[in-house]
Amino acid sequence: MKIFCLVFSCCLFISCSSGDQQAKKVADVLVTENSCLPAKDLMWKIFYGLAEDQVAIQASESFKSLLEAEVKAAFPTWFANEKQSLVHNFLEEFVLLFEKLAAIQETQGFSSWLKVLAQSELEVEDSILSEKVTSEIHVHIQKNADLLNQLRPKCLEEVVATSPEKERGLGLKGAFITRLKRKHHPLLYGAKKVLLTAYQDCQIEERTSPFDRRTPNVQGIKRLAVGHPNGIGGRRVIEDSDLLYKTHPYYGYRTGGATELNSLFAGENQCLNQSHFLMIYDYGGKPSTSSKANSSLNLFKHAVDAASPDLGVDCSGYVFSAIAAAGLKLHPDKQLIASQVYGVSANHFRKSSKKVMPCFDKVLMTERSNLRDGDIISTKGHTLIVGGVGKDPLAIKKYARNDRCTKISYKDFDFDVYQSSPAKGALGIHVMQAKEHLRQSKSMRVPLVELAQKICQKSRANQKQKSEIQNGSFELSIIRHSGSPSCMSSEVSLVAESCLKECR
């Protein structure tokens, strides 16, 4: 195994980066995004880009002079007499930020660096870094952004002129996609889009019903004895690809086996040969990302810090992908980009504080208005998206009539869940009846039933119940996207989503 040395230590499979390479990459982002991205977002994008390209941050003594040369070549007008001091201050501040992040990267290691960056940008409560360190990074980012704004004032004017409503129209086109958008809540549309793209098949929900108790487990997946590096989750691998292909509800009805590998693309709008990209549930798994001009999520490529050798995403990776694919922001003041997927977790969605996710709200629920399509339900260890909501999704109307609220059972619930989970043999992304998921998950079943009972009881007293429960070790919340214009953005693209273009 070849080892490439970094500036302070050695890491596996990470190419060493000279100051020259780093300077070129920084200048490339400045040039590419100079007239289309707010300065603060551009700063984050620079470091996401370095991480995605597996370039370690190296604060060498020569870096400043190399960066100055690259910037001067790209933006000669910045070095006019009246802007000389601004450029000098920008370069000085940028090097300070570079040194700060290089020191953090040395401590945290490269394997989790994308996660560290995303958590820092989103300012999540359970971040790897302390609140103090995260705050210091944001101060440096803001200083750089302020100086850059003075060097390129026209850029801001152009960005402000682009309304969220106009951006919302961007994304995958086609009659099938248009119907999907019109028919469903934006977040449920995103959930379906990710599901269909993951399996490269727009007929999944027509050919299969939401999984229930009768749905058999898939076969061919093995859980390894050595678990996830964090000591909590498990690691799984595909032991028999043909067996998995035949027993998986979303693959099984197709012709051919997993060993029959055809060309990946037959044409621009053709689908990937799915037998080459079998997916399973991967605890901690996230899609690979690109923070370049066209930010994208790639379900068919390993993320930089993937723990499993086989493709797959975890619950929060799927939920964020659905949010991004629908063009829904977490924060009105933060650009929606693919790389943010590394910073989210089930707890991130469960806590959903106004500081971190102001575009989502916990809602007040009643007998008449409770669960809706597109809601996100989260516990300490799992998060999912609600779909297929029936007339009485939490059975509140049924039991409120005769004052039998305490009799509400999960078996009466009438909605589906879109999720990635280890259910049914660890098949990963799927749609399941809520009652079947809750039968298997006590950590979500107990608090959700309790919440339904409280909504029922308070409705009888003409009161509302907030959509969260904290009862001992059981914690649950239900959040809903605000849909406000400032919380909408262009859709983050999914690699190989063009498969859905020709769907009818």
Lowest mean pLDDT among 167-176, 237-246, 434-443, 455-464: 167-176
Give backbone dihedrals phi and psi of 387, rounded to 5 degrees, phi first: -150, 170
Q: Tell whether the model's pLDDT for residue 358 goes beyond 80.
A: yes
Distance CA 205, CA 429 (A): 13
- The reported pLDDT for the residue numbered 65 is 87
DSSP reduced 3-state for 301: strand
Query: CA 305, CA 93: separation in Å to the nearest integer?
Result: 30
Percent of the chain residues past pLDDT 70, beyond the cut: 85
pLDDT band at 303 (very low <50, low <70, confident <90, very high): confident
pLDDT of residue 154 exceeding 90? no
CB 258 within 8 A of CB 275: yes
Helices and strands (DSSP H and E) totals, the chain: 18, 16
Q: Which of 10-19, 63-72, 190-199, 444-453 has the lowest mean pLDDT?
A: 10-19
Concatenating the DSSP letter of every residue in 408-442 gives --GGG---EEEEEESHHHH-EEEEEEHHHHHHH-H
Residues near 2 by beta carbon (within 8 Å), at least 6 away in sequence: none
Both structure tokens of 133: 């360190």
pLDDT band, very low/low/confident/very high, at 268 (cuts 50, 70, 90): very low
- For residue 158, what pLDDT band results from cuts at 50, 70 and 90? very low
Domain limits of the chain? 16-162, 172-504
User: Quick check: 169 and 327 in contact, CB under 8 A?
Assistant: no
Q: Minimum mean pLDDT among 102-106, 188-192, 455-459: which range?
A: 102-106
Which residue would you say has higher pLDDT here, 304 or 8?
304
pLDDT for the residue 185: 97
Strand extents, DSSP E, 314-442: 360-362, 364-365, 376-379, 383-387, 416-421, 428-433
User: 135-139, 150-154, 160-164, 261-265: which has the highest mean pLDDT?
Assistant: 135-139
Is it the case that residue 30 has pLDDT exceeding 90? no
Higher per-residue confidence, 5 vs 154? 154
370-377 average pLDDT score: 98
* pTM to 2 decimal places: 0.88
Burial class for 181, CB neighbours closer than 10 Å (0-12, 13-18, 19+):
middle
Tell me the mean pLDDT in the region 84-110. Answer: 88
Alpha carbon 183 to chain centroid, angstroms: 23
pLDDT at 11 over 80: no
Rounded Cα gap, residues 268 and 70, in angstroms: 36
Across the range 98-119, mean pLDDT stands at 86
Residue 204's alpha-carbon distances to 158, 222, 300, in angstroms, are: 42, 25, 18
Among 191-200, 330-339, 357-366, 495-504, the minimum mean pLDDT is found in: 495-504
Question: What is the band of 157 on the pLDDT scale with cuts at 50, 70, 90?
Answer: very low
Could you read off the pLDDT of 54-86 as tens digits, one per residue?
777 877 778 888 889 988 998 888 887 778 889
Q: Contact, 384 vs 376, CB < 8 A? A: yes
Question: Which residue is it, tokens 């989103």?
Answer: 122
Is the Cβ–Cβ distance between 374 and 325 less than 8 Å? Answer: no
Average pLDDT of the residues in 299-319: 85
Unique residue bearing structure tokens 């589906």: 416
pLDDT > 50? residue 9: no
Q: Determine the Cα–Cα distance for residues 370 and 377; give it in Å rounded to an integer.
A: 12
Cα radius of gyration rounded to whole Å, the chain: 24
- Using DSSP, state whether 188 is helix, strand or coil: helix
pLDDT of residue 490: 92
How far apart are alpha carbons 231 and 226 in whole angstroms?
Answer: 9
The DSSP bridge partners found for residue 221 are 238
Q: What percent of the chain has pLDDT over 90?
A: 55
Lowest mean pLDDT among 6-10, 336-340, 361-365: 6-10
Q: Which two tokens stand for residue 482?
A: 């605000």
Weakest-pLDDT range from 23-37, 114-128, 211-225, 397-411: 23-37
Among 142, 141, 152, 140, smallest CA distance to 34 is for 152
Q: Report the chain's mean pLDDT, rounded to a whole number.
A: 85
**Residue 169 pLDDT greater than 50, yes or no:** no
Please state whether beta strands 296-302 and 493-494 pair in parallel, antiparallel, or not at all (unpaired).
parallel
User: Over the stretch 216-241, which tens digit does the pLDDT of each residue have?
Assistant: 999 999 998 887 766 677 889 999 99
Q: How many CA atoms lie within 13 A of 438 on its CB side?
A: 24
pLDDT value of residue 165: 35
Range among 54-63, 76-85, 307-316, 384-393 rated most confident: 384-393
pLDDT (0 to 100) of residue 460: 87
Q: What is the pLDDT of residue 405?
A: 96
What is the average per-residue pLDDT within 362-382? 96
- Rounded to an integer, what distance in angstroms lies between the CA atom of residue 447 and that of residue 313? 25
Long-range contacts of 408-412 (CB under 8 A, 24+ apart): 408/449, 408/452, 408/453, 408/456, 409/449, 410/434, 410/435, 410/438, 410/439, 410/445, 410/448, 410/449, 411/435
